[in-house]
Amino acid sequence: MPQLTQAAAIRAKNLPKTAMVFAAGLGTRMRPLSDSIPKPLVEVAGKALIDHCLDLFMEAGVETAVVNVHYRADQIEDHLRRRTAPRIVISDERALLLDQGGGIRKALPQLGSAPFFLCNTDAFWIEGAASNLTRLADAWNPEIMDALLLVAAVADSVGVDWQGDFHMDADGRLTRRDERGVAPFVYSGVAIVKPQPFEQDTREVFRLAPFLFDAAEKGRLFGLRLDGTWLHVGTPAAVGEAEAAIAQLKK
Residue 56 domain boundaries: 2-249
Q: What is the pLDDT of residues 46-66, one digit of tens each?
A: 999 999 999 999 999 999 999
**pLDDT attached to residue 180:** 85
The whole-chain average pLDDT of the chain stands at: 93
**pLDDT attached to residue 12:** 58
Q: What distance in Å separates the CA atoms of residue 133 and residue 127, rounded to the nearest whole number? A: 10
Query: One-letter amino acid identity for 180?
Result: R
CB count within 10 Å of CB 24 equals 26
Number of domains composing the chain: 1
pTM of the prediction?
Answer: 0.92
- 154: region left, alpha or beta (phi > 0 left; psi from -120 to 50 alpha): alpha
**Among 100, 222, 58, which residue's Cα sits nearest to residue 151?**
222
Q: What distance in Å separates the CA atoms of residue 120 and residue 23, rounded to the nearest whole number? A: 7
Per-residue burial over 46-76, b if 16 or more Cβ lie within 10 Å, else e, is eebbbbbbbebbbebbbebbbbbbbbbbeeb
pLDDT tier, 162 (very low <50, low <70, confident <90, very high otherwise): confident
* Mean per-residue pLDDT, 242-250: 89
**pLDDT attached to residue 13:** 66
**Among 102, 118, 34, which residue's Cα sits nearest to residue 71?**
34
Beta partners for residue 125, in sequence order? 230
For the chain, first and last CA: distance in Å?
35
**Among 96, 47, 42, 46, which residue's Cα sits nearest to residue 68?**
96
- CATH number of the domain encompassing residue 197: 3.90.550.10
